[in-house]
Amino acid sequence: MASRLLLQNLSKRHLLRSTFASRSASTLVLAEHEGGSIKAQSLSAVVAANSLSQDNPVSLLLAGSGSSLHQAAEKAATCHPSISQVLVADSEKFAYPLAEPWAKLIQLVQLKGDYSHVIATSDSFGKSILPRAAALLDVSPVTDVVDINGPRQFIRPIYAGNALCTVRYTGANPCMLTVRSTSFPVRPISVDSKSGGASISEVDLSTLDEDSVGKSRFMKLSSQDTGRPDLGSAKIVVTGGRALKSAENFKMIEKLAEKLGAAVGATRAAVDAGFVPNDLQVGQTGKIVAPELYMAFGVSGAIQHLAGMKDSKIIVAVNKDSDAPIFQVADYGLVGDLFEVIPELLEKLPEKK
């Protein structure tokens, strides 16, 4: 009898907690910024927050130092009507997005704001920071969410994207999510300039632990200033595989991308062979992309690579092997030698203006 009463009381408490969570839903979105602007992927997290419930105030958390941080905060306040507050953490500790100080910051903001949800995108930023913050808050994160069916029910891919799993979160607040930006596209929204945008508040960092920097140290930033669009948000992506045989031959992919105004991608095999840096890798262990046009040259179509690009609107594949798995997902396929096809394309395509 005592056990039955205990279970009933626990069920009532769980029901009350769930009802309270749904009524008082509020979301903290972890945002990245660069050059004084919010990254497009972070706005996808805001779109995901809108799917949780109708009355869901969204707070955007920005961290960094210097004038670019405050410029990004001003733009963030007016970039989306769903954002009700912009929180700014200005400190040299956040000059670079290291996981340890960011996790401590999220713990601090959560204890003060008592948010029902914390959302970040499933990129290197979100995947590095959110699990550590979840451990500090003693909750289990739900990762790689591609659809939201309610405040606590989500859909995420499993088995390299070959199956979709429905997950119901039954833990304590906050419910922490990473979402795929390609599944929550940002549509053009007109923001009323007369409303003045969201409020901007400084986060009180006086209680932040001095040892919150942790054991990681920023060493250097290596980036390629090519003028090409970002791989994660480009409308056209041109990808090369191991069949290109060398880094010198891979330059053909780069030239084609320049003519098309496209981003350059690569398979894991091409990255492991040293043809290109690993930040260009597309696939399960690389970047997830869903451009309007995806062109694959010398890509066999391994399941790990398909998991990162099969949601592209139009897929064009060129491969010598007519039985290559890439042709099973391609909208247009050409069985041919890429060393003949690419030069012909370069010759016939006009120069980008």
Ordered DSSP codes for 286-323: SB----SEEEEES----HHHHTTTTT-SEEEEEES-TT
Q: How far apart are CA 352 and CA 346, in angstroms?
A: 11
Is 282 marked within a binding site?
yes
Is 274 marked within a binding site?
no
Is 240 marked within a binding site?
no
Is 217 marked within a binding site?
no
pLDDT at 284 over 80: yes
Task: Kindly state the average pLDDT of the residues 134-139.
Answer: 96
pLDDT at 3 over 50: no
Is 302 marked within a binding site?
yes
Task: Kindly state the average pLDDT of the residues 58-87.
Answer: 93
Is 242 marked within a binding site?
yes
DSSP code at position 78: T
pLDDT at 231 over 50: yes
When comparing pLDDT for 10 and 159, which is higher? 159
pLDDT at 220: 77
Host H or E run for residue 76: helix 67-76
Is 50 marked within a binding site?
no
pLDDT at 214 over 90: no
Proportion of the chain above pLDDT 90, given as a percent = 66
pLDDT at 13: 40
Domain with CATH 3.40.50.1220 in the chain: 236-348
Give domain 27-202's CATH superfamily: HUPs (3.40.50.620)
pLDDT at 11: 42
Is 76 marked within a binding site?
no
pLDDT in tens, 242-261: 999 999 999 999 999 999 99
Q: Which amino acid is at 125?
A: F
Domain with CATH 3.40.50.620 in the chain: 27-202
Q: Do 76 and 43 meet the contact criterion of CB atoms below 8 Å apart?
A: no
pLDDT at 208: 81
Is 283 marked within a binding site?
yes
pLDDT in tens, 88-133: 999 988 988 889 999 999 999 999 999 999 999 998 899 999 999 9
Task: Kindly state the average pLDDT of the residues 143-160.
Answer: 93
In this structure, which CATH number among 2.40.50.140, 3.40.50.10490, 3.20.20.80, 3.40.50.1220 belongs to the domain 236-348? 3.40.50.1220
Ordered DSSP codes for 132-160: HHHHHHT---EEEE-EEEETTEEEEEETT
Q: Is the peptide bond before 174 cis (omega within 30 degrees of 0)?
A: yes
CB neighbour class for 170 (10 Å; exposed up to 12, middle 13-18, buried from 19): exposed
Is 182 marked within a binding site?
no
Task: Kindly state the average pLDDT of the residues 323-352.
Answer: 93
Is 267 marked within a binding site?
yes
Is 303 marked within a binding site?
yes
Q: How far apart are CA 76 and CA 97, in angstroms?
A: 18
Task: Kindly state the average pLDDT of the residues 9-23.
Answer: 41
Query: If pLDDT is split at 50, 70 and 90, which confidence band does 213 have?
Result: low
pTM exceeds cut of 0.85: no
pLDDT at 77 over 80: yes
pLDDT in tens, 174-192: 999 999 988 998 887 665 5
pLDDT at 216: 76
Q: Do 169 and 118 meet the contact criterion of CB atoms below 8 Å apart?
A: no
Is 316 marked within a binding site?
no
Q: How far is CA 239 from CA 41, 102, 122, 144, in A?
A: 21, 33, 21, 23
pLDDT at 166: 96
Is 301 marked within a binding site?
yes
Is 47 marked within a binding site?
no
